[in-house]
Structure 1
Amino acid sequence: MPNTALPGENPRNVPDAAVAASSPAAGELTAEQQAAITELFASIDTVTEELGERFAAAGHELALVGGPVRDALIGRPVHDFDLTTDAVPQTVLRLVEGWADSVWTVGIDFGTVGLRKKGLQVEITTYRSESYRPKSRKPEVSYGTSLRGDLVRRDFTVNAMAVRLPGHAFTDPFGGLADLKAGLLRTPGRPQDSFTDDPLRIMRAVRFAAQLGFALAPEVAEAAAGMADRLSIVSAERVRDELVKLLLSPDPRRGIELMVDLGIADHVLPEVPRMRLEIDEHHRHKDVYEHSLTVLDQAIALERQRGMEPDLVLRLAALLHDVGKPKTRAFESGGRVTFHHHEVVGASMSKSRLSALRFPKDVVADVGRLVALHLRFHGYGKGEWTDSAVRRYARDAGPLLERLHVLTRADCTTRNRRKAASLARAYDDIERRIERLAEEEELNSIRPDLDGNEIQEILDVGPGPVIGKAWRFLLELRLENGPMGKEAAAAELRSWAERHGD
């Protein structure tokens, strides 16, 4: 692979004035930030110092770069240790041979060598850039020779800071420290160049906004909006991974709103901006888009109240639970607006979109199931459901029951306090009933009182369709009446068989 940058050169061939404008002088670390860097290296000092010395002795550079430096400076936990060097991967392998406890090369085609030493896992990547041809889905990787040249190709200035090894010299050629303090996402060079190099950075911009609470610099937002269609050349898996990180961030709403406002969602989750239904004085209804974002916020708040970890399935279901409304909207007399069966349509749409984004099959199925079930509770009324109806509700939700509880509660966004309180009391009631029945009957694993072998023996028949019909009959009986016991179930089965001539 050709070298594309020499020490001190501008690797993008951007005019010097433009580079100067986008590369303010590095700021100085505060005492607190310097302490954070010192503390970061205290836990990994032996390994990184030894590595730095090995590379320096061989005439090569080595630096901790990107996310670990950024996170240490803002007080976030550091989990990944990414190093960068001017040494090509074959040289890296030679330098760590016999020193590292283990080495892996799955990323070597992209210039990355992974290793483990004394329990610490690090990845060392040769100075590089990645770029896409106009219609290519795979980036082309080029090696460089200078740290500055590597940093200018990073996605954002807050990720373009480094700490050289050995010695821990802080390097910040593009003003990342100042942007970190300002909570601003800028690119080291022109954002158009950055997004051309890797269009996924458009998604990374909105993901970092949600994850770190940062704002996009005006020129970054403008370029993201103008180049959002470039996401079509990025693999669905890479886009999905950024979306997952966004949704599991502290403030997904911030990222989703940016995606919609900048037109990014049109290429990733087009169903979401389509929920922005027009509202007029004759046909009044809730803004479905704003409602869905509020449901997402409330689901996250309930997650925290209930001691749950950030839940991807729940958050996807909260965001997508009403995506079927635009397709099912109908206007009726008197200004009434209806969305009949939007939960069924929405479940199908959710599964189609998540499948297109290559989400795992269990995630697709679980989100679709929650969307399909999210209206079920609204038939509960004032608690007039029978125990059999409560059993069916719990059984249909199965292992998704806790998530369904949260989603259904979060779906209440009415400003009418009396109505909200009434809904909350009704859901408190159904949860208590489910808990009581669960203690009595193990609701999560409801089965008929007789299994398939017992059904065959009682009916004196072999395997076949009639066994499935009989099993479903006994399941409905079990849901309706609760546990019956084998003798009573056998009597009901014989009676059923006689009625059906089996």
Structure 2
Amino acid sequence: MDLLLMAAQSIMSESINDRLKHWLSPLKDFPTPFYLVGGAVRDREMSRPVTDIDLACQNAQQVAEKLAAEENVTIVRFLKNPDVPCYRIVNRSNTDDHIDISEMQGGSIRADLARRDFTINAMAVPVLQDGPTDEIIDPFGGISDIEKKRIRVTGTDAFTDDPLRMLRAVRFCAELGFMLSKETDTLIRRDAPLISKIPGERIWAELRRIFQDKDSRTFIRLMDKLTLLPAVFPEITAMKTCPQNAHHHLDVWPHSLAVLAYCEEMINAPAGRFAQSAELIEAHLAENDREALLKLAALLHDVGKPSTRGVNDATGRITFYGHDKAGAGMVTDIARRLRLSKTERKYLVSLVAEHLHILSLAMPSVKTSTRMRLFRKLKEDAISLIIHGAADVLATRGPQSSPAYRTAYLDWAGATLAAFNGTILPRLSPDKTPIRGKDLISLGISSGPDMGEILSQIRQAWDDGDIQDHADALDLAGKLISTKKKNRCLT
């Protein structure tokens, strides 16, 4: 009898049926039964869109090879779960069209489900040869837990088998709006130190999805309460016992959480504080995982404070000299531990390294060229730094903080973001420099220190608005060359 690839209409949408028929039609004579498992069953029960189809079967490698022989597909083998062979079958004509086939564990579907992480993911729908079925195999009460909006482990060894599941538990709370069961909460607290055994890239994959939630601050606090956050970032432990000076109303760790909350507020609704720049901010943060990394930077921006904390003997004032530089070094280590890409690491570290610098740029006495030097260094990433600075000043409300400065920074930030694409960004491009070395050569200056100094002075004048075009730059170059000759500095 032909393989019938439908489960109950109450479980799977017609599109899933169609996709199953398409993918498994070459396997109609294959002797093994197939089971729809994992998130596809869960999401259909919750009336959520189903994007990924996961099948469990015996002889998964042979199934994948059979499909590869008869279809225009690519096979990617990976470990979706530790020690469980899984094969992603990807349609070469449409790479968004794929199906995952994993080796059934333990010799039966019930044994396989027993090895899965949470009850809501430990359900299966048979896709059988002898006709359609409306059966849901649910040995651990997953449907009941969905109804109760509860994340519950399938067994007490769930986290020792794979410690990453602790982060997945928090991530499912964020994505599904569920709560941890009491048993799951207790087990995470017991097993939290085991997270250090997990490769950094797997940790960041889960953290990224948590930070992408619009209310990530709630789930970061949950991770902290579970002792999971300091297990991932041991560096924050010292932050929790580090008092601040009178500029702050919160000590270092609660201040960092507040900065995260303000950052998230501006990310979720940029028009609330920066009405003229909402589209700019949204487009900027949508690229290169900036949203998740900006939130991580907010959480860790003061990680260097405990190691740099000092107390003035004469005044008793608490200081944190150099904490931005110290923090940048620590965050560099964290970024490497998480195995961030070079671009991601540079972005994250620059936000921590420059988080004090940006706060000084709002002062009226600061020259435009000083601001432009930082913007030229960071380019578009300056947008994120400005947002971080706004969150930092909003979270700093101690008795010695200045409400006037807070207002001044927010006003400057709004004006700067509004002008960024139209006025600032074009001037950051090397193609927009008002003069080049070849222009100075035509004026009799050879390559060397003198040329570099003159070009630097011209760029500063350009950044300050003292010159407007190429002609102004040539005129200034002539004056600078003349001055050097008079001072006998030119050889």
Which range, TM-score by smaller chain?
Answer: 0.7 to 0.9
Which of 78, 96, 105 matches 1:107?
A: 78
Tell me, yes or no, if structure 1 residue 163 matches structure 2 residue 125: yes
Opposite residue 342 of structure 2, the aligned amino acid is: K
For residues 194 and 386 of structure 1, the distance between their equivalents in structure 2, rounded to whole angstroms, comes to 58
Shift, 1:422, TM fit: 5.8
Structure 1 stretches (4+) deviating beyond 6 angstroms?
280-284
Shift, 1:326, TM fit: 1.2
For residues 344 and 492 of structure 1, the distance between their equivalents in structure 2, rounded to whole angstroms, comes to 39
Shift, 1:456, TM fit: 3.7
Shift, 1:150, TM fit: 0.9
Tell me, yes or no, if structure 1 residue 322 matches structure 2 residue 288: no
For residues 71 and 421 of structure 2, the distance between their equivalents in structure 1, rounded to whole angstroms, comes to 53
Partners of 1:70 and 1:159 within 8 A in 2: yes
Opposite residue 58 of structure 1, the aligned amino acid is: F
Opposite residue 143 of structure 2, the aligned amino acid is: L
Q: Which residue of the partner structure matches residue 182 of structure 1?
A: 148
Shift, 1:154, TM fit: 0.7
Partners of 1:53 and 1:165 within 8 A in 2: no
Give unpaired runs (5+ residues) of structure 2: 1-7, 271-277
Which of 42, 61, 81 matches 2:53?
A: 81
Q: Which residue of the partner structure matches residue 461 of structure 2?
A: 477
Q: Which residue of the partner structure matches residue 35 of structure 2?
A: 63
For residues 372 and 265 of structure 1, the distance between their equivalents in structure 2, rounded to whole angstroms, comes to 22
Q: 1:198 to 1:369 in 2, by over 3 A?
A: same
3-state SS, counterpart of residue 261 of structure 2: helix
Shift, 1:99, TM fit: 4.7
Shift, 1:316, TM fit: 1.9
Deviation larger for 198-207 or 292-301: 198-207
Q: 1:336 to 1:36 in 2, by over 3 A?
A: farther
* Superposition pairs of residues 127-276 of structure 1, within 5 angstroms: 127-128=104-105, 144-166=106-128, 167=132, 169-190=135-156, 193-276=157-240
Partners of 1:84 and 1:124 within 8 A in 2: yes
- 1:478-501 per-residue CA deviation (whole Å, 9 max, x = no partner) reads 323353533224214414653433
Q: 1:97 to 1:448 in 2, by over 3 A?
A: closer
Shift, 1:406, TM fit: 1.5
Shift, 1:279, TM fit: 4.7
For residues 57 and 135 of structure 2, the distance between their equivalents in structure 1, rounded to whole angstroms, comes to 15
- 1:3-58 per-residue CA deviation (whole Å, 9 max, x = no partner) reads xxxxxxxxxxxxxxxxxxxxxxxxxxxxxxx87734xx222322314656765753
Tell me, yes or no, if structure 1 residue 432 matches structure 2 residue 415: yes
Shift, 1:123, TM fit: 0.9
For residues 203 and 173 of structure 2, the distance between their equivalents in structure 1, rounded to whole angstroms, comes to 16
- 1:384-404 per-residue CA deviation (whole Å, 9 max, x = no partner) reads 434334434533442112212
Shift, 1:346, TM fit: 1.6
Opposite residue 427 of structure 1, the aligned amino acid is: L
3-state SS, counterpart of residue 189 of structure 1: coil
Give unpaired runs (5+ residues) of structure 1: 1-33, 129-143
Partners of 1:72 and 1:78 within 8 A in 2: yes
TM-score, length-scaled by structure 1: 0.78
Opposite residue 73 of structure 2, the aligned amino acid is: S
Q: Which residue of the partner structure matches residue 475 of structure 2?
A: 488
Opposite residue 145 of structure 1, the aligned amino acid is: G
Identity rate of aligned residues, in percent?
30
Opposite residue 490 of structure 2, the aligned amino acid is: G
For residues 220 and 72 of structure 2, the distance between their equivalents in structure 1, rounded to whole angstroms, comes to 42
- 1:439-469 per-residue CA deviation (whole Å, 9 max, x = no partner) reads 456233266422233334434424x555444
Deviation larger for 413-422 or 429-438: 413-422
Opposite residue 177 of structure 1, the aligned amino acid is: I
Q: Which residue of the partner structure matches residue 311 of structure 2?
A: 331
For residues 377 and 125 of structure 1, the distance between their equivalents in structure 2, rounded to whole angstroms, comes to 50
Shift, 1:148, TM fit: 1.0
For residues 334 and 294 of structure 2, the distance between their equivalents in structure 1, rounded to whole angstroms, comes to 16
Tell me, yes or no, if structure 1 residue 413 matches structure 2 residue 400: no
For residues 244 and 304 of structure 2, the distance between their equivalents in structure 1, rounded to whole angstroms, comes to 20
For residues 50 and 474 of structure 1, the distance between their equivalents in structure 2, rounded to whole angstroms, comes to 65
- 1:251-307 per-residue CA deviation (whole Å, 9 max, x = no partner) reads 322332233333333342122233212559999852221221221122122112235
Q: Which residue of the partner structure matches residue 437 of structure 2?
A: 452
Over the aligned positions, Cα root-mean-square deviation in angstroms equals: 3.4
Deviation larger for 391-400 or 272-281: 272-281
3-state SS, counterpart of residue 64 of structure 1: strand
Partners of 2:247 and 2:396 within 8 A in 1: no
For residues 462 and 166 of structure 2, the distance between their equivalents in structure 1, rounded to whole angstroms, comes to 53
Deviation larger for 223-232 or 171-180: 223-232
For residues 266 and 247 of structure 2, the distance between their equivalents in structure 1, rounded to whole angstroms, comes to 32
Partners of 1:224 and 1:262 within 8 A in 2: yes
Shift, 1:358, TM fit: 0.8
- 1:162-209 per-residue CA deviation (whole Å, 9 max, x = no partner) reads 22225353221111122222232211122xx22222222222223323
Tell me, yes or no, if structure 1 residue 48 matches structure 2 residue 20: yes
Which of 495, 498, 501 matches 2:490?
A: 501
Q: Which residue of the partner structure matches residue 72 of structure 1?
A: 44
Opposite residue 194 of structure 2, the aligned amino acid is: R
Q: Which residue of the partner structure matches residue 311 of structure 1?
A: 291
Partners of 2:358 and 2:385 within 8 A in 1: no
Q: 1:164 to 1:51 in 2, by over 3 A?
A: farther
